[in-house]
Structures are given as structure tokens and as C-alpha cells.
Structure 1
Amino acid sequence: MAVRDGLVAWLGSDDVGRHQFPQAEVIDLEGSLVTPAFVDSHVHVTETGLCRTGLDLRPATSARHCLQLIADYAAAHPGEPIRGHGWDESGWSDGPALDTTALDAVVGDRPAYLSRADVHSALASTALRNLVPGLPAGIDAQAPLSGDEHHLVRAAAGTLLTAAQRAEARVAALDAAAAAGIVAVHECAGPDIGGADDWQELRALSQGGHGVEVIGYWGEPVRTATQAHALIEATGAHGLGGDLFVDGALGSHTALLHEPYADAPGCTGVCHLDTDAVTAHLWACTQAGVTAGFHVIGDAAVASVVAALERVVEKFGVAAVARCGHRLEHLEMVDAEQAAKLGSWGVIASMQPVFDALWGGEGGMYAQRLGAERAAGMNPFALLASQGVPLAFGSDSPVTSLDPWAAVRAASHHHTPGRAVSMRAAFAASTRGGWRAAGINDGITGTLVPGAPASYAVWENSMLAVEAPRDTVQRWSTDPRARVPALPVLEAGVSPRCLRTVHRGVVLHG
């Protein structure tokens, strides 16, 4: 491959290349694998960095273990507020025993904010709760907080972070992305996530030359085209969507369902935006020619958004809606009729395959929350693809790790038969799909063909498919016309090591 001025200038055999470009600098990759670089279609950069630089609770195997991790961190950082992420009681042997009393016992009078894995609920110490004057007096003083109360506590915890901590976290997150072969991320920002200051600071870092491209979405509803234009101008965001919450998450019992949770009878989740509000936002954004989008997980939430989209299609027509590239984030509970409509309207599904790897299966969190029958229908990648819904894959980091190969493997090894897509389709959704979701439809970005941006990753060659046992080989065409590289063997829990990441000809890592 020859690169000139940030573009792929030529591809072919080594001997021809050396003859055709005799004055070029030659970099011998010694048989390493070169692929198009990845795009992560849904991240939270600052939170990802805080998880890397602070308290990571994802390794916790029990409530007791989780509390020990908190106690160890508190001892190592005396006098500081505590911020942690990642506990998930659905896989613990000793059950959901985390409460405010248990937390206070290890942190004392220090403010502590510990978000659940899905970041839709959090455990907060009494000291932190006391910093939130708007927290309703009647809420459970012991249980993790969700919904509006969680947003209030999250905002209060954010004020305890210093500018230096936030800056360090952002750099750590983008460095980690580059080290994973990722050259662009879709930041899902908003007033209920990191807030305007956090987004503008991240935007300044990206524009200041970090290298990893940050494409921002601002999750705030509007009701008129004028408001949509004004908000895009004020934020500099690419679209008004991302985590614009219609509902919450299954793990926190806040995803909006038609029928109650299997493990919480009488609970059907939380509705943050009703169908009328969703319709108004879509109407305004479509009229303004702006990408809209929503965080939508539960089946009732999906039904609400599809109904709203139908109203907007009837008003403006399919072409006007499709031109905007509206997005649905997560879209975990969608049926065949809804998928067909979304495909016909050009709506993009921004999904996280590792959710199924973590929480799918007979004994997984989905089955606990929904029962086996409903859980089996989660994350239907093949259904959406078959109906022409464009797929873009991401991590929702820090909910799952910045590991795009894990997403490729998870999408092609779904827990439920018939729900998976091919390795080739999963890789495309993790590369070209992310660019398409951001409105880049030139047909070459995200591939390695002459004229394409030289955005690629180099991978250690020890895991190439040609070296793998026959039953694990995933053979792809190596014909350059296919725009698809050879595929590494993707074993569970093991991803290829990235040796170099390059974006538009500039080395970001390695």
C-alpha cells in the first residue's frame, strides 16, 4: 500500500510497488495484518477516562468484593471524593447487597458516586446525597438512585471533579481508543450526561490536535426547526441525538416495557420522553435537515419512536427523513414489522454487540429481567440487516470496553441462533458503518482502496486466520475489490494487538 498526502494512493504487490514508487519511504510490516481503522459509534469519552484513571468496579464478582475494591481505593486516595463505575449485581453470587449504609461504612463522610455498569443508576453515599438540595425527601435512602434522582446526583458528583482530572481523563480515553485501532468516536453528550462544559472541553481537545476524531451528538430535545439550528450552532454538535433518553436500561429496571419485568412485577420502567415529545423533536430536526436520534431500549420505547417516525414520514416523505440520517441508539427490543419500517425510512441503528456477550444467554441479565422468551429476541442484528437498516457498532464505553474486535466477535457469535450477522458484516458495521452513521456516504471512507483516506490499523500477525485450526478459521476474500481484509481468529476474551493506528496519514499510536 502506498500513501500520499493522507490518502491511499495505490495497492498491489510488493515488487510492483517498490518499482512504481522508488523514492518512497518503505515501512516493512513483516507480515502484519492491515485493516481499515475502527470507528466507535457510541462513547462517553470523559466517563471512559475517569474509569481508566479512577475506580473501575467492573472486575467485582460479589457485593463483598465490590465493597473491598471501594475500601482499597478510598485508603489509597485519602480525603478525596470517590468516583467509580461498573458494578453489576446481576452476576454476583451474594445478590444485590449494595446499599447506602454499606457504602458509608467504607467511605465515611466522603462524597462517593458509583455508577452501575449501564450508567442508568448509581450508589451514592450519604455525604453526596446531602450535596443535592433538589433530591426528593421521600426517596429510598438506601437503594441505588435511578431516573431524575440519578441525574441530580450525577451532576453533583461532576462538580467535585477538577479541570485537571477531567482533562487527564479525556486524554486517557482517546489514547486508549487509538491503541485499540480506533480513529474516530461518536461522543454522546448532553445536559444530563457530562453537560455543556464537558462537551466543549472535549471538542477543544479534538480540534486541538489529539488525532482521534470526535464526532459529537447533543441529547437535548427541541420543538422547532429554529431551535434545532440554534442548538447545533451553540454546541457545534453533528446532530441532536445520541443519548436523548426515551427510556433507561434493563439492568436498572428503567427501560420502558409493554409488560412488567420478570424480576420486578408491577414495574415497566421509566419514560423520559413520550411519543408527542419524540415526534416534536423529529419533526423539528427533519424540517431543519439535522440528524436526530434517541436512546431507546425497551419494546414500549421502540414502539413510541417508530410511531413518531411514522408521523414524520407522513408529513415530510421518506426521502426527507432518510436524508437526515436519523439514528436510534441501542435499539435492543425491535420486532420484524418495526425493522422493516426503519429500513424503508433509512433510519440507522447504532448498536453495541458486546451487550449480548455480557448479558445474553439463558442465565444472563436479560433473562433475569425479562424471562427467557423476551430475552431471546434481544439485539436482533440479522433481522435489522435483512430489512436494510444500516448498522453502526460501538461500545457505549465505559459500559463496555474500547475493544472493537470484541464487538465484531459478539455480533457474529450471538447467544440466540439466527440473530448474528457474518464476521464480514460485523466488521463493516464497525468501520464503514460508523462513517455512514456520521453522514459520510462517499463509498470509500472506511475502506482501503485508492482515493480513500489513509485511516488504518496494523495488527500483530500471531492471530491471522491462516495460522488457526481449521474449525476456527473465518476466511474472507483478499481480493482488493472486495474492500475486505483477511480476518484474525477472534477467540473469546482475546483480541489482536494493535501495533500502529493511522488516521488520514498521521500516526496516532505505535
Structure 2
Amino acid sequence: MPTPSLVVVDGMVRTQAPDRTAEAVAFHKGRVLAVGATEEIDALAGPETHRLDAEGRVVLPGFVDCHTHAARLGEMRFRQDMSNAPGKDEALQVLNARAQKTPGDGWVIGWNWDETAWSGEGPITPEDLDGVSPHHKVLARRVCGHRIVVNQAALDALDLDRSTPGIETDEDGNITGRLSEDAAVQAWEACAPAHETCVKGLKLETRRLAEMGITSVADTAGRREIRLLTQAAQEGWMLQRSGLYVKDDLLEHLEGLAMGPLSGPWCSLLGVKIYVDGSIGARTAALREPYADEDTRGELLHAPEEIADVASRAADLGLQLKAHAIGDRAIDAVLDGLEQADVDPALRPRMEHVEMLHDDQLDRMRELGVTAVMQPNFVGNWQRPGGLYEQALGEERARRMNPFRSVLDADVPLAFSSDGMPYGPLYGIACAVDHPNPDEALTVPEAIRSYTRNAAYALGDEHARGVLQEGALGDAVVLDEDPRQAAAIDEIDVHATVVGGQRIV
């Protein structure tokens, strides 16, 4: 047997392979060489082998965050994070301070604000941003990414086409500065930073993800994201393996190249992403019944026939469909579209978020082979008493949101991810275990599996990722505490992260 480059010994190795635990694991040429007892693995080591003594700590496969926006982390690093503002006044003060440091009439861009974390002050308005600075172009992006607010100076600079979906107008037909969905995307892209800035930021942020034990990510990718992540893979500085799901408006380019799945050790093309609705926070998630606090059922961005067209065309290239669907009406539309397209379940179509699931939909998902890619962090963010879900949907519907246990009981594959709101698998696992609706809570092992092997299943790679077994990719995380016993799972420190058989943290 070859000599390993690294051995991790004297641990509690929870391999995520059925009925298999161990004490140690050996790595060679980027993959798992052997799993077994410490004495057996130590015997494989040679003079050049690095030895990591876990000292009884838990060893897991590296966390697989299968729905991220990692490519955007670089640019976000150079924009104003508003997530720590305790109220709207403080959020506006942060932007004002940024404006004071911004020369001329340049852009002042804030992101990650969430009015549901404030004390009834309501969302940021265009008038609020006019008050921040009447001269600078000020833009504030809500945490969900589906709502952007701009001041008049920014609105003038953007010169938006009135026909763009998501532009709000007042009773006189004037554009208000509140933008959602397509209009929000257009505004965000219009003030994108230079590519070199994104590279610089992502080089810093990739280490932060590694420090959380994240070894694989999967991004929705437009042109900028494709350029950035493929460059990272070619130059070898990205510390996570990246899977790309290109936006549906790029599908015709893939068809022109007859380009199907592309698999590489650090960057792979996996599928096509389509947005079918918006978000609860922006009141654009498409619901069967109106919101509790607004007379709207949200926005259905694509009819079933359009979803079927994208699904069929992706399937013709051998690519997965990745459909964003939060509200129950959007979930219905995706299921209708998949039935019309008659997509082979072997392609493992994915539905993202699926926060408002019903039993009848779960039955259809199982029959169609759909994987539920959910974000347990949303439970901690918005499903607590008095939170966003309760405000927007009322108590009864809020209680039924994010039904993790129901998904598993229906034999629908359940994969966890963060959507970057915020990153942190251990936070997500803690939220899934401490679900405010006990009937929908998971056990610690179930939650861990959803963030490892099940998440790898969503990427079509469960035999190589999310599992520590011979021949699998050499990605692992060592935790300072056992999640099964820790008083606070989200406060557990990552002791070490291994990617490709090398310790990087």
C-alpha cells in the first residue's frame, strides 16, 4: 500500500458510510487511502507522512455547502455589510459614514440589511437613502438579495428600462427606487466592482470558509462568476471545490457549444439554475394564499411551460435543473414543469429552499426524483416567534415552514446548504436540531448527514464527497467538540480542515 501524505489518528471518525465508524484515516494523492484503527493507520505512515493527532476529537467528511454564492464573497468584502446594525437608524449611519469616505458622487453600496431584526422600524426606503447623501449614488441590498433600494441619484445613474420586471412605480407612474427580482439584478450588476477586486476579496474569503470546515461549494453562475471560479481553479488558490449552475439565460450558449457536464477536481459544470419566485422578506415568494401583512401572493417568475422548456433543454445536455422555489405556488409550478418535461429522475433535479412545502408536494417530489435543497439557517434567522415568517405569513403558516422531518419521512432526499445567509454549517445543524416546531426537528446525525453526504448527493457526487471511505476525495474536518454532546453546536470550534489530503486550517 502507498505511503500516506497525511494521517489523522486517535479520533472519532464518523465516516457517513453506512454503519462504519473508525479511529483514524490516511490520505494519499488527494484521496482517502484507508480508514481504520489508529494502530493500523499509524503503521502505514512513513518518514515524510504528516501526523495529525485528533486527541479524541470528532472527525467528519468536509462540509458540503451545496447552495452558495461564494464567488460574490470577494466583492462583498469591499462593500458595506449592514448585518450588525441593531436598527434602521444605525444602518443608515453606517451608510452615511461610508459616504463621507467616498469621493465625489461615487457609489455607496450596502448589503445584508434585514428589517425583521429591527424593532418595528420597517424596511429602508428611497427617501432614507436620499437622506444618507443626495449627491452620492446610494444602493442598499436586502439580505435575501431579491430587494434593492436606491436613492434618486442612483436611480438617475441606472436609467432603468421601465419594462424591466420588478420596477415599482407610484400612482403617477414614477419609478420609486424600490426594485425587486430582474430590476434588482440589473441594478446590482450595473455597479459591479472590477474583476481584480473580486479576486483579491475571494482569496481572503475562501480561507474564512475553510475555517468553518467547508470544503465544497456550489454556485449560481453568470459570466462574472464563471470567470472568477474557473480562474481560481486554474491558479489553484481556491480552498473549496466549486460546482457551477449557470443561469438559465446562458443556456443557449451551452447548447451552441453542445456542452454538458464537465467534471474537474476543483471546478465542475453541473447544471442550470432558474428562479421561479422571489423571497418571503421581499414579499415576492409566490404563495397559494396572500401574505398576512400585504395584499399580494408574490411573483411567479416562470410558468410551468417555461420551466418545462428549460428543464428539457438542460436534460438534453445531461445537466441538472436547479429551480429556486420558496413559496408553495412556485413549488407547484416547478413540479408541473418537471412533469411536463418528463425529466429522467437519474438527472436528480433539485429544488432550492422549498420553505413552504405541503404533503401533496412531497409525494410528487419523491415520484419525480427531486432533491430538496434547504437552508436550516433560515430557521434560526426567521422562524423564531415574532420573526419574519410570523410577520409575513401568520403563526399557522410560519409553524409549517422548513419541514425537515416531513421531507425525510416522505423519502425525499434532503440536502443542507446556507445560501450564504450566513455561511456556517454548524449554525445550520444547530438550527435543524432546535427547530421551533419539534415535529420537524432532526437528530444531530441526520443534520450532519444532510450537510455532508446528502449535500454531495445533490451534486451527484456522494461516493466521492461527504464521506470518508477508501477512494473518496480527501476532504475532512476535525471538531473541537462532539456535536452529539455539545451544549451549543453553533459554538463548536473547527480544530482542523483537510482538503485534498492536506491540512489547510
Structure 1 residue runs of 5 or longer lacking an equivalent are 191-195, 314-319, 466-473, 475-487
Contact 2:377 2:428 in 1 (8 A): yes
In structure 2, what is the equivalent of residue 408 of structure 1? 429
Check whether the contact 2:168–2:176 (CA below 8 A) recurs between aligned residues: no
1:286 match: secondary structure: helix
The residue aligned with 2:74 is 49
Aligned-partner SS, 1:435 = helix
Matches of residues 267-286 of structure 1 in structure 2 within 5 Å?
Answer: 267-286=296-315
Corresponding residue for 2:501?
A: 505
Aligned to 2:207: 175
Alpha-carbon offset, residue 133 of structure 1: 2.3
- Deviation of 1:409 after TM superposition, in Å, equals 1.2
Q: Is the 2:255–2:317 contact (alpha carbons within 8 Å) kept by the matching residues of 1?
A: no
Does structure 2 retain, via aligned residues, the 8 Å contact 1:225–1:287? Answer: no
1:217 aligns with 2:235: no
- C-alpha distance in structure 1 between counterparts of 2:335 and 2:304, whole Å: 9
- Encode CA deviations 1:135-191: one digit per residue, 9 max, x unaligned: 429724555321332222122122xx122322223223322211211111001123x
Q: Alignment partner for residue 464 of structure 1, among 475, 478, 482?
A: 482
Tell me, yes or no, if structure 1 residue 369 matches structure 2 residue 392: yes
Counterpart in the other structure of 1:440: 461
Q: CA deviation at 1:228?
A: 8.1
Seen in structure 2, the aligned counterparts of structure 1 residues 95 and 135 have a Cα distance that, compared at 3 Å, is farther
1:128 and 2:160 equivalent? Answer: no
Looking at structure 1, the residues matched to 155 and 279 of structure 2 have their Cα atoms a distance apart, in angstroms, of: 22
**1:215-251 CA distances to partner (integer Å, 9 max, x unpaired)?**
1001215899983864658999624433x21110010
CA deviation after TM superposition for structure 1 residue 207, in Å: 3.0
- Which residue does 1:297 correspond to in 2? 326
AA of the residue aligned to 1:13: A
State the Cα distance separating 1:108 from its structure 2 match. Answer: 3.3
Kept after mapping to 1: 8 A contact 2:72/2:225: no
What is the rounded CA distance, in whole Å, between the counterparts of 2:373 and 2:256 in structure 1?
22
1:222 and 1:26, CA in 2 relative to 1: closer, same or farther beyond 3 A?
A: closer
* Alignment-derived partner of residue 179 in structure 2: 145
Q: CA RMSD in A?
A: 2.6
Greater strand share, 1 or 2? 2
One-letter code aligned to 1:179: E
Q: Distance in 2 between matches of 1:138 and 1:334?
A: 29
The answer to whether the Cα contact below 8 Å between 1:170 and 1:202 also exists between their aligned partners in 2 is: no
Q: Distance in 2 between matches of 1:107 and 1:166?
A: 26
Runs of 5+ unmatched residues, structure 2: 1-24
Match of 2:20 in 1: none
8 Å contact kept, 1:222–1:281: no
Q: Give the 3 Å change call, closer, same or farther, for CA 222–138 of structure 1 in structure 2.
A: closer
SS of structure 2 residue aligned to 1:289: coil
Give the conservation status (yes or no) of the 8 Å contact 1:128–1:157: no
- Which of 316, 333, 341 is the aligned partner of 1:312? 341
Which of 202, 205, 230 is 2:232 aligned to? 205
- Alpha-carbon distance in 1 for matches of 2:95, 2:306: 40
Please tell me whether the aligned partners of residues 344 and 388 of structure 1 are also in contact (alpha carbons under 8 angstroms): no
Q: What's the CA shift for 1:437?
A: 1.1
1:373-429 Cα offsets, whole Å, 9 max, x none, are 1112111111111122112211111xx122111111111221112112221111111
Partner amino acid, structure 2, of 1:2: A
Residue equivalent to 2:406: 383
* SS of structure 1 residue aligned to 2:272: coil
- Which deviates further from its counterpart, 149-158 or 57-66? 149-158
Give secondary structure in 2 for the equivalent of 1:409: helix
Preserved contact between residue 188 and residue 217 of structure 1 (Cα < 8 Å): yes
Give the structure 1 partner of residue 15 of structure 2.
none
Aligned pair in 2 of structure 1 residues 419, 229: CA closer, same or farther (>3 Å)? farther
The residue type paired with residue 453 of structure 2 is R
Alignment of 1:8-23 (within 5 A): 8-21=32-45, 23=47
Cα distance in 2 for partners of 1:45, 1:429 equals: 20
Structure 1, residues 439-494: CA drift from partner, whole Å, max 9, x if none?
Answer: 1143x5322233322210123x3x336xxxxxxxx3xxxxxxxxxxxxx62617x4
% of aligned pairs identical?
Answer: 27
SS of the residue 1:440 aligns to: coil
How many angstroms apart in 1 are the aligned matches of 2:366 and 2:66? Answer: 19
Aligned partner (choices 31, 35, 38) of residue 7 of structure 1: 31
Show the counterpart of 1:189: 221
Q: SS at the partner of 2:364?
A: helix
8 Å CA contact retained: 1:63, 1:92: yes
How do 1:340-379 residues align onto structure 2 when only pairs under 5 Å count? 340-379=363-402
Contact 1:292 1:326 in 2 (8 A): yes
Q: Which residue of 2 aligns with 1:165?
A: 197
* SS in structure 2 of the partner of residue 241 of structure 1: strand
Q: Is the 8 A contact 2:242 2:268 kept in 1?
A: no
After TM superposition, the structure 1 stretch with the greater mean CA deviation from structure 2, 356-365 or 203-212, is: 203-212
Q: Once the 2 structures are TM-superposed, how far is the Cα of residue 20 of structure 1 from its aligned partner?
A: 4.7
1:93 aligns with 2:151: no
TM-score (norm 1): 0.85
Equivalent residue letter for 1:108: P
- CA deviations on 1:282-319 (whole Å, 9 max, x unpaired) are 22223332211211111111111111222233xxxxxx
Tell me if 1:452 matches 2:483. no
Residues 230-241 of structure 1 mapped to structure 2, 5 A cutoff = 230=258, 232=260, 238-241=269-272
Q: Size of the alignment, in residue pairs?
A: 467
| Preserved CA contact (<8 Å) 2:130 2:152 | yes
8 A contact 1:2–1:11 mirrored in 2:
yes
Residue aligning to 2:83: 58
Partner AA of 1:464 in structure 2: D
- For 1:34, the aligned partner's letter is V
Residues 261, 268 of structure 1: 8 Å contact kept: yes
Would the aligned equivalents of 1:9 and 1:450 in 2 still touch at CA under 8 Å?
yes
Instruction: Tell me which amino acid in the other structure corresponds to 2:482.
Output: L
Aligned position for 1:247:
277
Cα separation, 1, equivalents of 2:287 and 2:437:
21
